[in-house]
């Protein structure tokens, strides 16, 4: 099976707190707490592993939190090869108010990365990419990393023969697309920044995707939340509708989408099969209490309900 390497430059411990109510300025008692390795790329690794993909998790980790992340990944059967840094890997908190069905996230900044550690990461990506079908870069950049870092790492991964996936935002995305990753998954706000104009209607999304494909990005998926996505691949545009569900915790659905796309692509599936699996995984994740977690039976059931229509 073809290896998928995930890269989380700001790895985390994701803590999800379930509470009856989460009023600001008051004391709240937590009924359930879930603590797992997180950060977007690690979520991609976990879900790809649950789907039966061969995965390896890389990125930066630090301190006792970093050691916990590595140990927990190992316990769940996910190999890892991280660069260790000074300081503590961050905590990312998600407070779920069950009476209002709201989710409030607090994301710590994480450790500051040095030039030496960046050089170590570049060397590691070169080695890992040489044995990977896909290298998936996900999440925000840590402090100390230049906005161009994803672009540089994508260049290294591509030169070593791997396909690069990029799921990030802001300047890291703006710079990253210049390195022509194979796959990106921006939301509408991120697309507006990428193309430098506002999206007023759905047809503006179509032309934006066309523009990004012309820039050399093989597969562009613009997520529209629960409404599904618009996808561009091979010069064609598709409207993808996700199954309707009662969401328990949508955090990590984007990462689960990337995992589905990566597993199908690494297995040589068609684009149609890949976008269906990605959409089913994104939806299946929201059914679970934990972020970045899918059940095979949910994925299989939801796959039947994903709708893909050719737009042009």
Q: Site residues (CB under 6 A) for ligand TA6?
A: 10, 12, 14, 38-40, 43, 92, 107, 139-140, 251-252, 254-255, 291
Q: What tokens appear for 120 in the block?
A: 């170590």
Find the shortest distance in angstroms from Cβ 46 to ligand TA6. 10
Distance CA 157, CA 306 (A): 32
Distance CA 102, CA 94 (A): 10
Find the shortest distance in angstroms from Cβ 90 to ligand TA6. 8
| E-state strands within the chain | 3-8, 12-19, 32-38, 54-62, 79-85, 90-97, 102-107, 134-138, 163-167, 183-184, 219-223, 229-233, 236-241, 307-310
Find the shortest distance in angstroms from Cβ 136 to ligand TA6. 13
Find the shortest distance in angstroms from Cβ 124 to ligand TA6. 19
Is residue 272 exposed (0-12), middle (13-18) or buried (19+ Cβ within 10 Å)? middle
Question: CA angle at residue 139 from 207 to 71, to 5 degrees?
Answer: 150
Distance CA 26, CA 146 (A): 39
Tokens 């990419």 correspond to 129
For ligand TA6, give the closer residue by CB, 50 or 206: 50
Query: Which one-letter DSSP state was computed for residue 63?
Result: H
For ligand TA6, give the closer residue by CB, 15 or 239: 15
For ligand TA6, give the closer residue by CB, 170 or 216: 170
Secondary structure element (H or E) that encloses residue 189, with its range: helix 188-195
Find the shortest distance in angstroms from Cβ 273 to ligand TA6. 24
Find the shortest distance in angstroms from Cβ 159 to ligand TA6. 25
For ligand TA6, give the closer residue by CB, 107 or 311: 107
For ligand TA6, give the closer residue by CB, 142 or 155: 142
Find the shortest distance in angstroms from Cβ 13 to ligand TA6. 8
Chain residue at closest Cβ approach to ligand TA6:
139
For ligand TA6, give the closer residue by CB, 131 or 143: 143
Strand partners, 310: 238
Q: What tokens appear for 119 in the block?
A: 């050089």
For ligand TA6, give the closer residue by CB, 187 or 273: 187
Secondary structure element (H or E) that encloses residue 275, with its range: helix 271-285
């Amino acid at each position: 099976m073809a290896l998928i390497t995930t890269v989380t430059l700001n790895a985390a411990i994701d803590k999800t707190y379930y509470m009856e109510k989460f009023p600001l300025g008051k004391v709240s008692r937590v009924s359930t707490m879930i603590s797992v390795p997180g950060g977007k790329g690690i979520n991609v690794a976990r879900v790809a592993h649950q789907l039966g993909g061969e995965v390896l998790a890389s990125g930066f980790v630090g301190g006792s939190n970093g050691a916990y992340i590595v140990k927990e990944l190992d316990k769940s059967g996910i190999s890892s090869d991280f660069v260790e840094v000074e300081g503590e890997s961050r905590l990312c908190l998600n407070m779920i108010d069950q009476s209002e069905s709201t989710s409030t996230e607090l994301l710590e900044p994480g450790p500051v990365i040095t030039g030496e550690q960046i050089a170590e990461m570049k060397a590691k990506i070169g080695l890992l990419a040489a044995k990977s079908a896909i290298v998936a870069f996900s999440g925000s950049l840590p402090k100390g990393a230049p906005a161009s870092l994803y672009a540089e790492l994508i260049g290294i991964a591509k030169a070593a023969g791997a396909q690069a996936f990029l799921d990030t935002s802001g300047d890291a995305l703006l710079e990253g697309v210049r390195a022509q990753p194979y796959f990106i998954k921006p939301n509408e706000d991120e697309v507006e920044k990428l193309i430098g104009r506002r999206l007023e209607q759905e047809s503006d999304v179509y032309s934006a995707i066309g523009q990004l494909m012309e820039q050399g990005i093989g597969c562009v998926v613009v997520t529209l939340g629960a409404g599904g996505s618009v996808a561009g691949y091979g010069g064609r545009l598709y409207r993808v509708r996700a199954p309707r569900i009662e969401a328990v915790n949508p955090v990590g659905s984007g990462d689960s989408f990337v995992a589905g796309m990566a597993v199908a692509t690494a297995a040589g599936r068609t684009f149609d099969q890949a976008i269906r699996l990605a959409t089913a995984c994104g939806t299946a994740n929201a059914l679970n209490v934990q972020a970045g977690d899918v059940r095979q039976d949910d994925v299989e059931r939801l796959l039947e309900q994903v709708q893909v229509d050719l737009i042009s």
